[in-house]
Amino acid sequence: MDQRQLLRTRQEKAVTSGVATKSIFVKSAENSEVWDVDGRRFIDFAAGIAVNNTGHRHPRVMEAVAQQFQQFTHTCFHVAPYESYIRLAERLNGLVDTGEENRTMLVTTGAEAVENAIKIARAYTKRSAVIAFSGAFHGRTMLGMALTGKVAPYKKGFGPFPAEIYHVPFPAAFSGVGVKETLSAFDGLLASDVDPDRVAALIIEPVQGEGGFNAAPLELLQELRARADKHGMVLIADEIQAGMARTGKMLSIEHSGVKPDLVTLAKGLAGGFPLSAVVGKAKIMNAAPAGGLGGTYAGNPISIAAANAVLDIIADEKLCERAAWIGQMIGGRLESIASRQGMARIGDVRTNGAMIAFELIDDADGKIAAPQLAAQIVAEAEQRGLIILSCGTRYNVVRLLPPLTISEETLDEALDLLEASIDAAFSKVPVLESEEGR
């Protein structure tokens, strides 16, 4: 029995089955490559779910962390604050464009950032209702689950959830949901279910993560900004997966030019160390009473040292530009694959910088999802040494999240593995009727 099998057996006896994992037990990692306990090498197109945007163990991150370890590891910012927290807050205030002076708070996880953003919005508006979107993912806490727009596996069996959380459809052009339908549902919600004067905030992922990498159209973001202004609601951009240079901008909402009131950050913020943030307009952020925000581990100094290094790396290595280039390379290869004879089941390719996905279907009209085919591609890739993930409300989307620091040589190798994995999975399903005779 190899080490992987032994660890799987130990995991089954020690870890709850509610924590789902792949069967890759990592021993070491460097930049875009991972080695498991049996010496197998993998190219990482998951990056810890967009955490390792700067790659595994970036030397500058590791150096910053090592220096901080020599000074102190924890005091609790509430008890004995430290300059590095203030410096990171200053930098994030400057990076996030709300159109006004900003303030920042640091916590540990994406879910914490979301929860605190809602708390701050409620404190500022003196209202309680929140509007989110179908397909959204905002965390696994009770409020995070309530805001999330996907039942299985995130909400199934865990209710009841907090009250006054509402959802409207998120636009998805391939699925036939447009901006008009979304805005009609939004306005209908305010007319029939919740008084706009009760709504504290709108929270939206400018590019949905778990929902399938669909990007919010410019028109939608502009209209949401207008409605938030009209009704006195706080507009929150959840940038936890799409932020930190992933889409070719520091924040994905920057592509639209729309200015949010609050932004949540996590994942890629600290290069593999746990850290998250809420950044936003000072007048809103300062609405919470002293002592109302924070936490024992909030703004851990080790993670902050890593985050300050990450911001330097993004700027110095021009990772926004590199994300755009990676998207062009992967998107181009996927479009080429999709155009080949017999590949009509690749119904849509979505490229948002280095946040890339393709959707699998079982009919020519794209109405029938193909989740089994998506799962087969993921499995074939793992067998060949490529780590990829699935997502989507119908579980039929394959998502690609390579580190932004991946070398050109490794990227080329990964794309060959991806194409071979797609070919292998497609060889096991019949050709769609629409392609017969072509």
Q: What is the pLDDT of residue 436?
A: 53
Task: For residue 231, give both structure tokens.
Answer: 């009704």
pTM of the model: 0.96
Range list for CATH 3.40.640.10 in the chain: 72-316
Q: Per-residue pLDDT for 260 more than 80?
A: yes
Average pLDDT for 148-174: 93
The CATH code that applies to domain 72-316 is: 3.40.640.10
Task: For residue 428, give both structure tokens.
Answer: 């096991």
Tens digit of each residue's pLDDT (9 = 90 or more) over 46-81: 999 999 999 999 999 999 999 999 999 999 999 999
Architecture in CATH for domain 3-57+318-435: Alpha-Beta Complex (3.90)
The fraction of the chain above a pLDDT of 70, given in percent, is 99
Q: What is the pLDDT of residue 176?
A: 84
Average pLDDT for 350-367: 93
Q: Are 138 and 114 in contact (CB under 8 A)?
A: yes
Strand-by-strand arrangement of the 129-133 sheet: 102-107, 276-281, 262-265, 234-238, 199-204, 129-133, 165-168
Q: What is the pLDDT of residue 175?
A: 81
Tens digit of each residue's pLDDT (9 = 90 or more) over 274-328: 999 999 999 999 999 999 999 999 999 999 999 999 999 999 999 999 999 999 9
Q: Per-residue pLDDT for 434 more than 70?
A: no
Q: What is the pLDDT of residue 235?
A: 99
Q: What is the pLDDT of residue 365?
A: 80
Residues 6 or more apart whose Cβ sits within 8 Å of residue 62: none
Instruction: Identify the residue with better confidence: 176 or 119.
Output: 119
Q: What is the pLDDT of residue 364?
A: 79
Q: What is the pLDDT of residue 437?
A: 44
The fraction of the chain above a pLDDT of 90, given in percent, is 94
Rounded Cα distance between 322 and 299, Å, is 29
Rounded Cα distance between 426 and 348, Å, is 16
Q: On the CB side of 281, how many CA atoms lie within 13 Å of its CA?
A: 15
Average pLDDT for 415-421: 98
The residue count for the chain = 438
Average pLDDT, the chain: 96
Q: Are 285 and 315 in contact (CB under 8 A)?
A: no
Q: What band does 329 get if pLDDT is binned at 50, 70 and 90?
A: very high
Range list for CATH 3.90.1150.10 in the chain: 3-57+318-435
Q: What band does 412 get if pLDDT is binned at 50, 70 and 90?
A: very high
Rounded Cα distance between 161 and 388, Å, is 32
Q: Per-residue pLDDT for 438 more than 60?
A: no
Rounded Cα distance between 251 and 278, Å, is 13
Q: What is the pLDDT of residue 311?
A: 98
